[in-house]
Amino acid sequence: MFVGEKLTDIRLLHGYSRNELAKLVDVSEQSIWQYENNYNGPRLEIVNKLKDLFNVKTKYFYEEKSYKTKFDPSLLAYRSKEINSVVKTKYEATHLEFIEGFINLLEGYIAYPENRLVKTRDYCVQFIVEASGRLDRTEIIQHIAEYARKELQIGEDNQKLLFFLEKNGVFVFEKFLGEDIDAYSTWSNKDKPILILGTAKKSSVRRNFDLAHELGHLLLHYKMDLSELTKAEYKKVEAEAHDFASYFLMPKKEFIEDIKQIQRVSNPNAYIDLKEKWLVSIAAMAYYARKLGYLTYEQHRYFYASLSRQNYTQIEPLDDKIKIIRPGKVKSSLQFLFEKEIIALEDLIKITNYNEKLIAKIVGLDEKFLTNYLKEPSFFGVSYISERQK
């Protein structure tokens, strides 16, 4: 029997409305609604169109079992210029459900390092409760940022930030999110921290800030219902994550010592050496220096005027020289499983009924990486061959 919920899931994963899907498979929107709500099953011809469109096996639509979980869309922490629409959030929540389902599958074969981020988060939640009323919010954010940097063992620089986040429990993925969304993050119901990086940005230092910003959301805004926030409240939440990223990436004491060495703090070029050290954008360092009181209002305005005049607002010095680091946790997991012959890609396809193209889409990998592990089916092996006796 055709399972309508499976069609809803795969449709939302691909970001299609019922009307859009109906046009793609040449049926009415009402027909798609009937399929999804089990009032009527599609003809085999339509099922074939659906499986080709979504890169699944036919069996996917007829099995009750699903390798996806449930996510509460209201808990998604977006980093965007605007609060996202309900529809967009629903699509992203569905993608997260497929992601966590696939992670759960991998964890049946792989033992990952200790999830230190859960312990760090629990400390931060307790600290916020105990420090409220005793410390102001800025002091709380600074303490949590410095505590997290120490607990996650980031070290003296930010070169391996992505690696240390993945090592300490975060699952990081890449996906094109549009031009306005930089990244988003959330905790799953099973305490998995999941972070999605947008691919629109090319700069390594901006990506570092995205990572730290989302870490701030994961630690500062645990279980916060973002759907209920007004624009002003949402803006405040974003500002807190921004401040966390500054304190986390550039520990206050060390950064102040560096700023004191700069003779012209309003000159963007004076920050180039510090950018190479901290792997943070020139604009972000100036913002932080202003927050710490090392740039006056007038100096800060002059800085941004100079930034624009030198065309640094889009591409800064060193952006083309600092290598972009990409997520490696899930890719390395699959590589380990395939090369150690613990499980083959064909087995994952058989278990999930996802084709290799859909697996690549779910976990944000290049399709070529997976297709390299596909084996040609063969039943006649070397055991049937012997040397001719002379």
pLDDT in tens, 32-64: 999 999 999 999 999 999 999 999 999 999 999
Look up residue 52 and give its two tokens: 């080709």
Q: Tokens 């007038």 map to which residue?
A: 298
Look up residue 313 and give its two tokens: 């607002």
Beta strands 171-175 and 77-80 are: unpaired
The class that CATH gives domain 71-248+329-390 is mainly alpha
- CB contact set of 368 (below 8 Å; sequence gap of 6+): none
Beta strands 181-187 and 77-80 are: antiparallel
The pLDDT, as a whole number, for residue 382 is: 62
4-62: which CATH number, 1.10.260.40, 3.40.50.20, 1.20.1260.10, 3.30.360.10? 1.10.260.40
Tell me the domain boundaries of the chain: 4-62, 71-248+329-390, 250-312
Q: Which helix (H) or strand (E) holds 193?
A: strand 193-198
Beta-bridge partners for 197: 174, 183
* pTM of the predicted protein model: 0.91
The pLDDT, as a whole number, for residue 199 is: 86
Is-same-fold flag (4-62; 71-248+329-390)? no
DSSP helix/strand/coil, 160: coil
- Distance between CA atoms of residues 281 and 380, nearest Å: 58
The pLDDT, as a whole number, for residue 94 is: 95
Instruction: Count how many residues are written for the chain.
Output: 390
DSSP helix/strand/coil, 363: helix
The pLDDT, as a whole number, for residue 227 is: 78
The pLDDT, as a whole number, for residue 248 is: 98
- Distance between CA atoms of residues 121 and 219, nearest Å: 5
The pLDDT, as a whole number, for residue 380 is: 67
Look up residue 126 and give its two tokens: 């307790």
- CB contact set of 103 (below 8 Å; sequence gap of 6+): 171, 192, 330
Residues of the chain with pLDDT under 70: 77-84, 201, 376-387, 390
Beta-bridge partners for 174: 197
- CB contact set of 38 (below 8 Å; sequence gap of 6+): 2, 3, 4
